[in-house]
């Protein structure tokens, strides 16, 4: 304890000496005289240093607040869990609704490294591999990007567009029969907007941009992997306990599906684009 106290005294000594320089260190001085002495010793240089330090603190605090509260939504961990719980409560009823299977993906990607922006025009080939007709398409856009321009190769009506929880529902004018296929088109945009309280999203940088389909591309169907996983958190939010062998809730079903990929990637002249599959031309 004596060693620790000595170290602490050593760390605090410079600060005490600085304070003594202004307030004085003579024993027996009353507070009023020490304050008057401080006023005489508080030189113009000290005032400038204090003002500059306060300005730096205010500027830095304002910069952080602008990024985490204006450019981005400030989200606490508890709020993220609550959003997962709300997603499950509201859309968990569609967990077993038949949905078409993804068989092919076509992407036209434009990466702007210097602006830290990406634009994607994509299309999914979907096949009804179930034994039941599919009359609604459930789509799960990703929070990291803006998803717009969703359309099908047949008439469809928007029933639900809930981008806060990441779920949309489209009603097909004519049900998709077993074995039939359809085409779903969409547009994505990623734009780096400062940084959030969760940190900086480094997906798009001047050199070394990296993103995955799981992070940006919309998914078809209800997403069990978005549910609350922690048992205590589930109980706190009034959710039923999960079965110990609920493998579906722990695994992203899209990862186990093989699809045909056709991608055209545009980027800066000094960049090299890399994607799964075989390069046809560049």
Ramachandran angles phi, psi of 259, nearest 5°: -130, 155
Ramachandran angles phi, psi of 40, nearest 5°: -70, -35
Handedness of CA 125, 169, 178, 175 (dihedral sign): negative
User: Whole-prediction pTM value?
Assistant: 0.69
Ramachandran angles phi, psi of 154, nearest 5°: -150, 160
Token pair 């169907």: residue: 221
Q: Is residue 172 a contact partner of residue 152, using CB atoms and an 8 Å limit?
A: yes
Q: Is residue 87 a contact partner of residue 227, using CB atoms and an 8 Å limit?
A: yes
- Please state, in angstroms and rounded to a whole number, the distance separating the CA atoms of residues 116 and 123: 23
Digit-by-digit pLDDT tens for the chain (282 residues) are 444 444 334 444 444 444 555 455 455 556 666 666 666 666 777 778 778 888 888 887 776 665 555 455 545 688 889 999 999 999 999 999 999 999 999 999 999 988 889 999 999 999 999 999 999 999 999 988 999 999 999 999 999 999 999 999 999 999 999 999 999 999 999 987 654 455 555 677 777 787 888 889 999 999 999 999 999 999 999 999 987 655 555 555 555 567 889 999 998 888 887 777 777 777
C-alpha 13 chain-centroid distance: 45
Within 8 A by CB and 6+ apart from 108, the residues are: 120, 121, 122, 263, 264
Residues, the chain: 282
- CATH 2.60.40 residue spans of the chain: 77-193+201-266
- With vertex at residue 146, the alpha carbon angle to CA 247 and CA 63, rounded to the nearest 5 degrees, is 105
| DSSP letter string, 172-233 | EEEEE-TT-EEEEEEEEEEE--S-BTTB---SS-SS-----HHHHS-EES--GGGS---HHH
- Please state, in angstroms and rounded to a whole number, the distance separating the CA atoms of residues 271 and 267: 6
CATH code for 77-193+201-266?
A: 2.60.40
CA dist 14 → 104, 125, 266 (Å): 67, 69, 57
Burial track 236-253 (b if 16+ CB lie within 10 A, e otherwise) = ebebeebeeeeeebeeeb
pLDDT number for residue 196: 47
- 245's tokens: 């062998």
Half-sphere exposure of 205 (CA within 13 A, CB side): 8
């Amino acid at each position: 304890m004596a060693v620790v106290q000595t170290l602490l005294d050593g760390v605090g000594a410079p600060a005490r000496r600085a304070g003594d320089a202004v307030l004085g260190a003579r024993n027996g001085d009353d507070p009023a005289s020490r304050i008057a002495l401080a006023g005489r010793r508080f030189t113009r240089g000290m005032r400038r240093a204090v003002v500059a330090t306060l300005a730096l603190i205010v500027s830095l605090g304002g910069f952080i607040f602008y990024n985490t509260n204006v450019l981005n939504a400030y989200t606490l961990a508890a709020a993220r869990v609550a959003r997962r719980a709300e997603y499950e409560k509201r859309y968990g009823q569609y967990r077993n609704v038949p949905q078409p299977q993804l068989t092919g993906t076509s992407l036209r990607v434009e990466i702007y490294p210097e602006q830290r922006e990406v634009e994607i025009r994509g299309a999914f080939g979907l096949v009804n591999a179930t034994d039941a007709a599919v009359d609604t398409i459930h789509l799960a856009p990703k929070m990291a990007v803006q998803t717009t321009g969703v359309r099908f190769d047949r008439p469809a009506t928007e029933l639900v567009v809930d981008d806060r929880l990441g779920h949309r529902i489209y009603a097909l004018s004519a049900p998709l029969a077993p074995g039939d296929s359809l085409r779903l088109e969409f547009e994505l945009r990623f734009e780096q907007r400062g940084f959030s309280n969760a940190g900086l999203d480094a997906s798009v940088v001047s050199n070394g941009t990296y993103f995955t389909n799981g992070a940006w591309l919309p998914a078809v169907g209800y997403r069990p992997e978005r549910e609350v996983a922690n048992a205590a958190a589930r109980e706190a939010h009034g959710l039923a306990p999960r079965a110990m062998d609920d493998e579906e809730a722990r695994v992203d079903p899209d990862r186990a599906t093989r699809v045909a990929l056709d991608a055209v990637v545009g980027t800066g002249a000094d960049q090299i684009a890399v994607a799964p599959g075989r390069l046809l031309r560049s």
